[in-house]
C-alpha cells in the first residue's frame, strides 16, 4: 500500500453501504430458508421499484423448477432488514424490492460526514498494479490522439490508488524506434540550428517529417536512414549523442503537457531501457521451445488458438534486430520480477488488441500468473466523423487543443461573470477548459469512437464538466454567504423529497467508485456524478438553505457540504479540479 492509502485506511471508521448490508442480509435469509446462495442485490432499475432489488427468487426458481413468486414469499419472512427498510415487497416476476427508510438514509448520511473516504471501502485484496498509459513517441508531436490513453489511464490509476492498491504509473515512452533512423538522418542533413533553439520540438518534428517524406520517393535517403539506425543500434557515439539530445528535448515537451494536464508518473521506462535485456528474452523463448525460427525470424506461434493460429508474433527479425514485441516481453519481465507487480494494465488504442493478446499469451506460456489487462479505447473523431485532423491533414497538436479549451472557457467566464478580476478569470478558465476536455473523454464508454465538440463539452447543461463544477460552485457560494464554519450536525432530518433523493444519491458514491474497475469504465463514475449534480440542483431549487429554519437548515447545510465533498472527490478521482467561483 502507498503511504497515502495507508494513512486513509488507518484513520477512517469502517462503513458499509446499503448494498453491502442488504446483500449480507439476503444471504443470511436464504440460508435461514434452507436455500443456497443466489442472486444479488442491485440498485433498483426504476424509482417506482424502491431503492434496491434482488432477483434471488428468480434465479433459485429457475434452478429448482419452482414458482418464483412463492419462493420470494418464503424468503421475505427471513429478511431482517427493518432497521434500514420498509417491509420488502414482491413485484413483477418475483423480484424482491427494498425501499429505504428516511431515518436510515439520514443516519447513513450523518456517518458519511464523519468519514474521510465518504464511505468508499478499501479493496479486500490490495494489488501491486503497474499501469502503462500515455506512452508518447520521442521526436513526434503529442497530438489529440494521446488524450484518451493519458486521461483514461490517469483516472484508472487515481481510482485504483484510492481503493488502496499499490499503483505504479509507468510512462512507456517510444524512444527507440525506426523513427530514429530518419531523425538522425534529418539532424545531420536537414537541421536548422537556429530553429532548433527557437522551437526544439517543432524543428525535430520538421526534420523527421521531411526525412520521412523523402524516404518515400528517394531510395538513397531510405538507405541512409536505415544506415543511421543500424549505427545507432550498434552504439555509434555520434548517433547516440544525437539520440540523447532528441530524447531530452522531447521529454521537456511531454512534461510541459503533463504539467498542464496534472498528470504524474512514478517511473518512466522507455523502450531503450530494455535494450540490453532483449537478447536474453529471445534466447529464453527459443530454449523453452515457445519460439521457433521461421523464414529466418524468431517467431512464437499460437497453433492451439484458432484466431491466432495464422498470426505468429515475431520476436526477432530475420536481420537479427529486435522489435517492439521483444521489448514488450522484456517489459513484462521487468514489471513482474523487478517491480513485483501482480497486475499489469496497459492502456492503448484498440488497434493494438492483437499485439497485446499475443504478448500476454506469451507471458502466460512462460508461466506468469499475474493479471494482465489490455485496456483499449476508441478514437477521437472530428465533426465529419473521420479521425480528427487539421486542414492540412496532420494530427491536431495536443497543445493547440488544450490552449483552445482554455481560451473558449475564458470567453464564457467573461460573459457569465465579468466582475471577477483578471487573474481569477484566467485561473477559472484553466480549470474549466481542461476539465471539459477530460470529462468529455471520460464520460464516454471507452471503446466507442466519439465526436469532439467544443460546444457540447463546454455547455453548462447536460453531462458536462461545467455542469458538475457549477453545482460545486453554488455550494461554495452558499457557505461564503453563510459566513460560518461548517460543523456536522449529530443527526439529520430528511423531510422534503428533494432532500431524501439527494441523500440517497450521496450514499451511493461508495457503491459506484469500486464498480469502475470491474471493466475499467470511468463513465460509470461520471454518470453517477452527473446524477448527483442533477439531484443537487433540484434540491437547490426546492429547498432554500440559508433562509430555512432549524432543524431544516442544519440538515440542508450538511447535505450541501457532503455534496461538495463527493463532487470534489469524485472529480479528483477523474483528474479534474473544481473552482470556487465560476
Partner RNA sequence: GCGCCCAUAGCUCAGCCGGAUAGAGCAUCGGAUUUCUAAUCCGACGGUCGGAGGUUCGAGUCCUCCUGGGCGCGCCA
Q: Is 295 in the site for RNA (CB under 7 A)?
A: yes
Residues 544-563 touching RNA, rule: CB under 7 A, are 544-547
- 366-405 mask for RNA (x: CB under 7 A)? ------------xx-x---x-x------------------
297, 330, 435, 578: which one binds RNA (CB under 7 A): 297
Q: Which three cell numbers stand for residue 572?
A: 479528483
* The one among 24, 311, 337, 364 contacting RNA by CB under 7 A: 311
Grid cell at residue 432: 474549466
Q: Which of 32, 80, 280, 354 binds RNA (CB under 7 A)?
A: 354
- Cis check: omega of the bond before 551, within 30 degrees of 0: yes
Let me know: does 484 contact 517? Beta carbons within 8 Å.
no
Note the helical H segments in 102-164.
102-113, 146-162
The residue among 14, 12, 53, 18 whose CA lies nearest residue 507 is 18
Number of residues that bind RNA (CB under 7 A): 103
From the CB of 236, what's the least distance to RNA, in Å? 17
Contact between 47 and RNA per CB under 7 A: no
355 is a contact residue toward RNA (CB under 7 A): yes
Which residue number, 273 or 540, has a Cβ lying nearer to RNA?
540
Output 3 or 547, the one with its CB closest to RNA: 547
Q: Which residues of 390-426 are buried (b: 16+ CB within 10 A; e: fewer)?
A: eeeeebbbbbebbeebbebbbebbeeeeeebeeebbe
Residue 334 is classified by DSSP as I
- Among 573, 574, 494, 572, CA closest to 535: 494
Three cell numbers written together for 513: 467508485
Does 55 bind RNA (CB under 7 A)? Our answer is yes
Nearer of residues 310 and 550 to RNA, judged by Cβ: 310
Residue 350 makes contact with RNA by CB under 7 A: yes
Minimum CB separation of residue 193 from RNA in Å reads 28
**Residue of 67, 114, 294, 487 interacting with RNA (CB under 7 A):** 294
CB of 71 or CB of 196, closer to RNA: 71
Shortest separation between residue 47's beta carbon and RNA, angstroms: 10
- What is the dihedral sign for C-alpha 349, 353, 354, 358? positive
Kindly state the smallest distance separating residue 10's Cβ from RNA, in Å: 29
Identity of the residue, 196 or 265, whose beta carbon is nearer to RNA in the bound complex: 265
Site map 67..96 versus RNA, x via CB under 7 A = -x----------------------xxx-x-
Residue of 101, 188, 389, 537 that binds RNA (CB under 7 A):
537
| Dihedral pair phi/psi, residue 327, rounded to 5° | -60, -40
Which of these ranges, 213-221, 294-302, 336-344, 392-400, lies near RNA under the rule CB under 7 A? 294-302
Q: Which one, 318 or 487, has the nearer CB to RNA?
A: 318
Nearest CB to RNA, comparing residues 202 and 296:
296
Span 404-423, contacts to RNA by CB under 7 A: 412-413, 416-417
* CB contact at 8 A, 155 and 574: yes
* Interface residue with RNA, options 176, 372, 509, 520 (CB under 7 A): 176
Question: Which span sits near RNA by CB under 7 A: 15-23, 100-108, 305-313, 487-495?
Answer: 305-313
> Between residues 58 and 196, which has the closer beta carbon with respect to RNA?
58
Q: Please enumerate in sequence order all residues whose Cβ is within 8 A of that of 557, keeping only pairs 6 or more positions apart, or say none.
A: 478, 482, 486, 545
Please tell me whether residue 299 binds RNA under the rule CB under 7 A: yes
Residue 358 backbone dihedrals phi, psi, to 5 degrees: -65, -45
Residue 146 phi, psi (nearest 5):
-80, -15
Of 37, 80, 248, 353, the residue at the interface with RNA (CB under 7 A) is: 353
- Does 16 sit near RNA (CB under 7 A)? no
Q: Give the integer Cα–Cα distance in Å for 431 and 439.
A: 12
Q: Residue 293, interface with RNA (CB under 7 A)?
A: no
Cell numbers at 127, concatenated: 494489488
Are the CB atoms for 543 and 498 separated by under 8 Å? yes
Kindly list the distances between the CA atom of residue 519 and the CA atoms of 5, 132, 361, 363, 522, in Å, as whole numbers in the listed order: 22, 16, 20, 22, 9
Residue with cell 539520440: 243
Nearer to RNA, 117 or 316 (CB): 316
- For RNA, the binding residue among 17, 19, 137, 563 (CB under 7 A) is 137
| H, E, C per residue of 215-234 | HHHCHHHHHHHHHHHHHHHC
| Residues near 421 by beta carbon (within 8 Å), at least 6 away in sequence | none
Coil, strand or helix at 154: helix
Q: Rule CB under 7 A: which of 444-483 touch RNA?
A: 444-445, 447-451, 453, 456, 459-463, 466-467, 470, 473-474, 476-478, 481
Amino acid at each position: 500500500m502507498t503511504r497515502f492509502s495507508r494513512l486513509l485506511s488507518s484513520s477512517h471508521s469502517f462503513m458499509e453501504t446499503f448494498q453491502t448490508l442488504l446483500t449480507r442480509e439476503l444471504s443470511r435469509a436464504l440460508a435461514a430458508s434452507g436455500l443456497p446462495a443466489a442472486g444479488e442485490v442491485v440498485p433498483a432499475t426504476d424509482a417506482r421499484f424502491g431503492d434496491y432489488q434482488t432477483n434471488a427468487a428468480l434465479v433459485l426458481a429457475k434452478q429448482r423448477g419452482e414458482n418464483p413468486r412463492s419462493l420470494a414469499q418464503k424468503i421475505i419472512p427471513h429478511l431482517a432488514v427493518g432497521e434500514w427498510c420498509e417491509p420488502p415487497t414482491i413485484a413483477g416476476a418475483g423480484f424482491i424490492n427494498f425501499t429505504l427508510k428516511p431515518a436510515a438514509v439520514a443516519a447513513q448520511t450523518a456517518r458519511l460526514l464523519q468519514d474521510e473516504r465518504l464511505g468508499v471501502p478499501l479493496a479486500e485484496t490490495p494489488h501491486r498494479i503497474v499501469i502503462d498509459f500515455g506512452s508518447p513517441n520521442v521526436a513526434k508531436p503529442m497530438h489529440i490522439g494521446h488524450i484518451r490513453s493519458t486521461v483514461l489511464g490517469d483516472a484508472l490509476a487515481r481510482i485504483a490508488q484510492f481503493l488502496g492498491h499499490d499503483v505504479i504509473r509507468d510512462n512507456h515512452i517510444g524512444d527507440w524506434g525506426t523513427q530514429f533512423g530518419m531523425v538522425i538522418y534529418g539532424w545531420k542533413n536537414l537541421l536548422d540550428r537556429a530553429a532548433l533553439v527557437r522551437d526544439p520540438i517543432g524543428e525535430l518534428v520538421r526534420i523527421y517529417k521531411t526525412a520521412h517524406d523523402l524516404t518515400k520517393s528517394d531510395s538513397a535517403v531510405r538507405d541512409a536512414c536505415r544506415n543511421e539506425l543500424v549505427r545507432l543500434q550498434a552504439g555509434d557515439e555520434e548517433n547516440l549523442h544525437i539520440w540523447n539530445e532528441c530524447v531530452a528535448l522531447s521529454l521537456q515537451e511531454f512534461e510541459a503537457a503533463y504539467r498542464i494536464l496534472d498528470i504524474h508518473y512514478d517511473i518512466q521506462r522507455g523502450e531503450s531501457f530494455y535494450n540490453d535485456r532483449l537478447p536474453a528474452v529471445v534466447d529464453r523463448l527459443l530454449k523453452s521451445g515457445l519460439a521457433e525460427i521461421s523464414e529466418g525470424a524468431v517467431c512464437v506461434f499460437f497453433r492451439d488458438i484458432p484466431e491466432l493460429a495464422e498470426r505468429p508474433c515475431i520476436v526477432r527479425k530475420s536481420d537479427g534486430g529486435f522489435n517492439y514485441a521483444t521489448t514488450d516481453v522484456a517489459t513484462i519481465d521487468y514489471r513482474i520480477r523487478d517491480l513485483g507487480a501482480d497486475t499489469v494494465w496497459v492502456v492503448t488504442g484498440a488497434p493494438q488488441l492483437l499485439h497485446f493478446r499475443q504478448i500476454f499469451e506469451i507471458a502466460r506460456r512462460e508461466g506468469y500468473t499475474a493479471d494482465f489487462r489490455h485496456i483499449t479505447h476508441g478514437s477521437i473523431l472530428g465533426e465529419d466523423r473521420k479521425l480528427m485532423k487539421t486542414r492540412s491533414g496532420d494530427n491536431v497538436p495536443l497543445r493547440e487543443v488544450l490552449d483552445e479549451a482554455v481560451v473558449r472557457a475564458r470567453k464564457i467566464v467573461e460573459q457569465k461573470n465579468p466582475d471577477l478580476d483578471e487573474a481569477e478569470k484566467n485561473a477559472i478558465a484553466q480549470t474549466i477548459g481542461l476539465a471539459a476536455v477530460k470529462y468529455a473523454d471520460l464520460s464516454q464508454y471507452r471503446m466507442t469512437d466519439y465526436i469532439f465538440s467544443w460546444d457540447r463539452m463546454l455547455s453548462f447543461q447536460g453531462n458536462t464538466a461545467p455542469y458538475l463544477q457549477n453545482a460545486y460552485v453554488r455550494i461554495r457560494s452558499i457557505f461564503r454567504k453563510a459566513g460560518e464554519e461548517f460543523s456536522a450536525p449529530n443527526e439529520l432530518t430528511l423531510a422534503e423529497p428533494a432532500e431524501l433523493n439527494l441523500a440517497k444519491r450521496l450514499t451511493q458514491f461508495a457503491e459506484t467508485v469500486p464498480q469502475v474497475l470491474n471493466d475499467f469504465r470511468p463513465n460509470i463514475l461520471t454518470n453517477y456524478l452527473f446524477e448527483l449534480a442533477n439531484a443537487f440542483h433540484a434540491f437547490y431549487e426546492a429547498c432554500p438553505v440559508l433562509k430555512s429554519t432549524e432543524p431544516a437548515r442544519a440538515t440542508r447545510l450538511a447535505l450541501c457540504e457532503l455534496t461538495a465533498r463527493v463532487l470534489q472527490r469524485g472529480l479528483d478521482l477523474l483528474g479534474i479540479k473544481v473552482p470556487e467561483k465560476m
